Structure 1
Amino acid sequence: MKLLYQLNAAFAMLLIIIMSVTAFFIYTLLLDMLIKDEQQELQENGEFLLNIMYEEESVPTGPLLASLIGNDDFRVLFFDPEHNDILFSTLPKDIAKQWSQVFEKDEPHKTLWKSGEDTYVTTKIPYQYNGKFYLLIMATPLEELRSLQSVFAIRMIVIFIIGIFVAVLFSYILTNRLITPLSQLKREVKKVKNRQFDAIERIHAEGEIGEVEQSVFEMAKELERYIETQKQFFQNASHELKTPLMTIQGYAEGVKDGVFKGEAADRSLDVIVKESERLKKIVNEIILLAKLDSEEGIYTRDFVQLSELVEQTRERLLPVANDYHVSMEINILEDATLQLDQEKVLQALINIGGNGIRHAHQAVTLTTYKQRHSYVIEVADDGEGIAEDLLPQLFHRFVKGKSGETGLGLAISRAIIERTGGTIRVYNREEGGAVFEVRLPL
């Protein structure tokens, strides 16, 4: 069942239950209210009759009461309790006779009196005239009140039915307005599931649904970028792996078939070894990237001195710098103790520093300082800088410059720094050369 119908069915069922319970209690209490009101009205009418007789100072007789009652549909019994003398009655004779014998002026009065199969709502009013006591009994059949109760109950049921219908109608309209964006959102989520990113459409919604819609849209865009990146990654990975494999295969077949002999065969074997090492390096870096993206336990945080980390980077890169005839300089403006994975961050800095060495003319400088809520490590070279069109993609996988190796080093560095909670960016200096800026949290 659709959510729209489920919500409306649940609301209608809840409304029916509430209305039914309310109607039951109202119906139950209604008869008591009618009896109480009727007794009060009988009391007022009886007192009104007796007041008129008292004001006229007349002997209470049947004809006088009959003239006062007129055409009013009263059940009246007026009698002398001492002599059981009935002066006036509009009740059936047997009931009038029975009541004249059982009613006493000092007796506690009962609201309901049953005579045979009939039950009456009664009130007893004493009256004194010329030293004699009389009793006026006003009565109404309970069946008449039950008839009123039934009429009221029918009207109440009709009103409740109309109210339920109107409430369910409004509920359907409001729920439909609420569910429609959800249905549209469900359709768009299916497009995300089927990777139909170009067919995704924005929906107009407010409140929490609007926030969910915005999150779904952003998730779809991010997923699209991720899938596109993965496609590009596998294409580049296959290309990078294919090149050394083809080289290895070519030289191996040449040696096998006798194309390369003597020194040529030795050089071929050297090429095979170098390409195998290059292939191994690419595979190891791909595995490392996968671990950095997925595994939480790969990071082991510890307290590390920033100056010590920079000095270790210099020591590791010094042999490479000597090969390129480039000097390594350190400038510690501010030192600090940070909590991070020393080996992983050291690897990131080595990748960045090695990239700077390959492009530097004379020197690579490592500078540390504090800025706002982070510590900055700058790795600057004095080379020609990075091509402007390459800057936005420099940290992407398999993106290489002129003298790049696997195209994975800077991607690994970015993954490590971001998993540490920091950021990394690169820009060109006006005086020449590139600057890699690594920000680490306090």
Structure 2
Amino acid sequence: MLKISLKLGLYIFSSIFLLETVSMLYLHNHVIQSRINQELESLKSRGNSHRDVLELSYSEGTLKHIGLMESHTDTDVVITNSTGDILQSSENINAEMKTILRKTLPQVPRKGLIIQSSWKDQPYIATVTPYNSDNEYEGYVYMFKNTGEVEELIAQLNKHFLFATVLLLFFMLIIIYFLSKALTRPLIGMKEATTKLSEGNFSVTVPIRSHDELGELAQSIQSLANELNYLKKERNEFLASISHELRTPLTYIKGYADIARRKDLDVSERTSYLEIIHDESQRLNKLLDELFNMAKMDMNTFTISKETVRLASFLETIHEKVLPAFQYKKMQLHLECKEDSSIDLDPARFEQIMLNLLDNALKYSNENTVTTIKAERLPGSINISIIDQGVGIPDEDVPHIFDRLYRVEKSRARNTGGFGLGLSIVKQLVEIQGGTISVRSKLNQGTCFTIIFKGDH
């Protein structure tokens, strides 16, 4: 199986190689054709120069001078009259030249005409230029160049192109090697991180080296690792806390049951111990009920039955139900609900939410304080708040107040009677019914829980 770095390198190499091949072929052909055109134009220019000399001073000496001059160059000249008779040539005329000279010429412009441009399959490239000296002497100046020399020039160009191609491929391979390494290094790091995650090691760190898609992927993996690590710690803490919460009542039950079995106890002592066993059994049963409800909500098997209720009368019922407990503790419980709005919710579950929040206010508030149930209708929402004047929640604990088995009292004093599950269940019950819950608190000043149901009611 090919590694991703090798695959990426092959893809990049294939793409660039194809692009470079097409570009080099186009450039090669274009340069060669341009060079051939330059040679042809140079031939035509030399023919035009000889024409100018003949028209300026036509004589036998001039003809010989032109022939002699071209005999020392890499081009050949043949001068004919208007009937095709050869007047002068720089070299002996061979069969290939004669073939070109016998061609029927079209109307030749004064600037000259290319009569043979094919250098691949012909021994010569050739041009022709007409001359006319005082309307007395007329004819043509033919210029020839051996294509062998042109082919040598093309061969030199091919060598340069081949060297440039090899050099380009060499540097391209080096660049692709380092580029593929640079691109795949973050992916390899992410792969190693996900391997560790699959093995249960969630304390991984994925370096984020860029802000592109790879950086976003690394950030997502890091967020997943952090979340899994948090869930692992939460699970361990959950199991430890549950063990603690179960062990405490079971210890009480076993201990007092052993004492109650003693035959030397009188009836009042045995009854007292049995009451403790009964209370701890109820406490244990309540914990199991809360755990069972939480498990059902986690598995999405927790059902609710919504119905339309009048909010004012519903809150008034709750107020009357819990008021005696507040009065017994010498606390005041106020209800503020100016509008009797209708709202869709599960009455039993929402009553559970309110009783849990009010129970917290009762536990963590002192005598002569006020707790307020406040409901108000705002544009697009209904807000229901429980506001107390209790001990408050420390700032560092507020973000975790809805976590499972999280308790502000780290000592887990039994006189509060809680398990750290109530607010977690409250949050889930609120969200199941389409609402949100938030908390604001100041130490030694009080706490406010606010439930918001969006929409027009």
TM-score, normalised relative to structure 2? 0.75
Aligned to 2:423: 410
Q: Verify the 8 A CA contact 1:61 1:87 in the aligned structure 2.
A: no
1:329 aligns with 2:334: yes
Structure 2 vs 1, CA of residues 79 and 232 (structure 1 numbering), >3 Å: closer, same or farther? same
SS in 2 for 1:421: strand
SS in 1 for 2:416: coil
Cα-Cα RMSD: 4.5
1:228-270 CA-to-partner distances (Å, cap 9, x unmatched) read: 1211111222333344556667788999999999999999888
Structure 2 vs 1, CA of residues 30 and 145 (structure 1 numbering), >3 Å: closer, same or farther? farther
Aligned to 2:439: 424
Letter in 2 for 1:8: G
1:366 aligns with 2:379: no
Letter in 1 for 2:146: P
The alpha-carbon deviation at position 138 of structure 1 amounts to: 1.5
Aligned to 1:240: 245
The alpha-carbon deviation at position 166 of structure 1 amounts to: 2.3
Aligned to 2:315: 310
1:200-243 CA-to-partner distances (Å, cap 9, x unmatched) read: 45746232355555554454344323221211111222333344
Equivalent residue in structure 1 for 2:404, among 397, 413, 432: 397
Aligned to 2:11: 10
The alpha-carbon deviation at position 95 of structure 1 amounts to: 2.7
The alpha-carbon deviation at position 352 of structure 1 amounts to: 0.7
Q: Verify the 8 A CA contact 1:348 1:416 in the aligned structure 2.
A: yes
1:4-153 pair list within 5 angstroms? 4-59=5-60, 62-82=63-83, 84-85=85-86, 87-90=88-91, 92-104=93-105, 106=107, 111-112=115-116, 118-129=122-133, 130-153=135-158
SS in 1 for 2:16: helix
Aligned to 2:293: 288
1:47-72 CA-to-partner distances (Å, cap 9, x unmatched) read: 01111222224358652321342511
Structure 2 vs 1, CA of residues 275 and 48 (structure 1 numbering), >3 Å: closer, same or farther? same
Equivalent residue in structure 2 for 1:352, among 346, 349, 357: 357
- Structure 1 gap segments, 5+ residues each: none
Letter in 1 for 2:129: I
Q: Verify the 8 A CA contact 2:44 2:114 in the aligned structure 1.
A: no
Aligned to 1:230: 235
The alpha-carbon deviation at position 101 of structure 1 amounts to: 2.6
The alpha-carbon deviation at position 35 of structure 1 amounts to: 3.0
The alpha-carbon deviation at position 330 of structure 1 amounts to: 0.3
SS in 2 for 1:122: strand
Q: Verify the 8 A CA contact 2:335 2:372 in the aligned structure 1.
A: yes
The alpha-carbon deviation at position 323 of structure 1 amounts to: 7.4
SS in 1 for 2:374: strand
Q: Verify the 8 A CA contact 1:365 1:381 in the aligned structure 2.
A: yes
1:155 aligns with 2:168: no
How many residues get paired? Answer: 437
Structure 2 vs 1, CA of residues 358 and 93 (structure 1 numbering), >3 Å: closer, same or farther? closer
The alpha-carbon deviation at position 11 of structure 1 amounts to: 1.8
Q: Give, in whole Å, the separation in 2 of the partners of 1:416 and 1:426.
A: 21
The alpha-carbon deviation at position 364 of structure 1 amounts to: 3.7
The alpha-carbon deviation at position 25 of structure 1 amounts to: 2.5
Structure 2 vs 1, CA of residues 31 and 259 (structure 1 numbering), >3 Å: closer, same or farther? farther
Q: Give, in whole Å, the separation in 1 of the partners of 2:170 and 2:120.
A: 45
SS in 1 for 2:5: helix
The alpha-carbon deviation at position 344 of structure 1 amounts to: 4.4
Letter in 1 for 2:438: T
SS in 2 for 1:118: coil
Which shifted more, 335-344 or 183-192?
Answer: 335-344
Q: Give, in whole Å, the separation in 2 of the partners of 1:42 and 1:260.
A: 135
Q: Give, in whole Å, the separation in 2 of the partners of 1:381 and 1:32.
A: 93
The alpha-carbon deviation at position 15 of structure 1 amounts to: 1.5
Q: Give, in whole Å, the separation in 2 of the partners of 1:17 and 1:302.
A: 69
Letter in 2 for 1:11: I
Q: Give, in whole Å, the separation in 2 of the partners of 1:354 and 1:290.
A: 23
- Structure 2 gap segments, 5+ residues each: none
SS in 1 for 2:143: strand
1:143-201 CA-to-partner distances (Å, cap 9, x unmatched) read: 43333333212211211221232244334444444444444454445444445456x45
SS in 2 for 1:51: helix
Which shifted more, 303-312 or 121-130?
Answer: 303-312
Structure 2 vs 1, CA of residues 343 and 62 (structure 1 numbering), >3 Å: closer, same or farther? farther
Structure 2 vs 1, CA of residues 113 and 175 (structure 1 numbering), >3 Å: closer, same or farther? closer
Which shifted more, 403-412 or 325-334?
Answer: 325-334
Structure 2 vs 1, CA of residues 114 and 213 (structure 1 numbering), >3 Å: closer, same or farther? closer
The alpha-carbon deviation at position 46 of structure 1 amounts to: 0.4
Structure 2 vs 1, CA of residues 439 and 300 (structure 1 numbering), >3 Å: closer, same or farther? same
